[in-house]
Amino acid sequence: MDVADLLARAAGMVPADVVNEAGVTVADVREYLDYDEGEIALDLLRDLDGDRRPLGGIC
């Protein structure tokens, strides 16, 4: 298993409705993985791990 596979698995563990303060979602992470931008995808995954809030509003 390579790094891209691990990042894709990690992205699969993030709920689809999570968005960070900058508006980044797991769909953005997957898009970067599609373009072989693993380093950016990893940074975005780290950002998604912090302050989690669902899309569409404040909880």
Q: Is 3 helix (H, G, I), strand (E, B) or coil?
A: helix
Centre a 10 Å sphere on the Cβ of residue 47 and count the other Cβ atoms it contains. 15
Q: What is the pLDDT of residue 20?
A: 87
Q: Which residues of the chain have pLDDT under 70?
A: 50-59
Q: What is the pLDDT of residue 50?
A: 62
**Do 15 and 50 meet the contact criterion of CB atoms below 8 Å apart?**
no
